[in-house]
Amino acid sequence: MLATELDQLCAILDTELDQLCATLATELDQLFAILATELDQLCAILATELDQLCAILATTQPPYIDTSSQELSSHPQTSQSDSERDTNRVSLCWP
């Protein structure tokens, strides 16, 4: 008799567990769909912002790296040749 009751209880618990897993799977699928949509929107916003930043930067004089101090300098050193300045140019969006 006890074995039968335990079997029935296990069957009930198994059914409940299956239902909980199915509900959790549905909830997770919905959550991931929402997160994917949000991520797509954020990426689109970031891409637009980056395009705008690059357009602005493309119209400005790029900074140069002063290789002696490894700091950005708005004026290249006069002792550097043109090729050295081009090599030291910081390029994020500049062609």
- What's the confidence (pLDDT) of residue 94? 47
All structural domains of the chain with their residue ranges: 1-60, 62-95
- What's the confidence (pLDDT) of residue 65? 59
Under a CB-based contact definition with an 8 Å cutoff, are residues 62 and 89 in contact? yes
- What's the confidence (pLDDT) of residue 71? 53
Q: In angstroms, what CA-CA distances link 93 with 59, 77, 82, 86?
A: 10, 23, 20, 15
* Residue range 48-64: mean pLDDT, rounded: 84
Is the pLDDT assigned to residue 75 strictly greater than 80?
Answer: no
Q: In angstroms, what CA-CA distances link 59 with 32, 54, 72, 84?
A: 40, 9, 18, 22
* Residue range 25-41: mean pLDDT, rounded: 97
Q: Confidence class of residue 31 from pLDDT cuts 50, 70 and 90?
A: very high
Between 78 and 6, the more confident residue is 6
The structure's pTM equals 0.49
Is the pLDDT assigned to residue 73 strictly greater than 80?
Answer: no
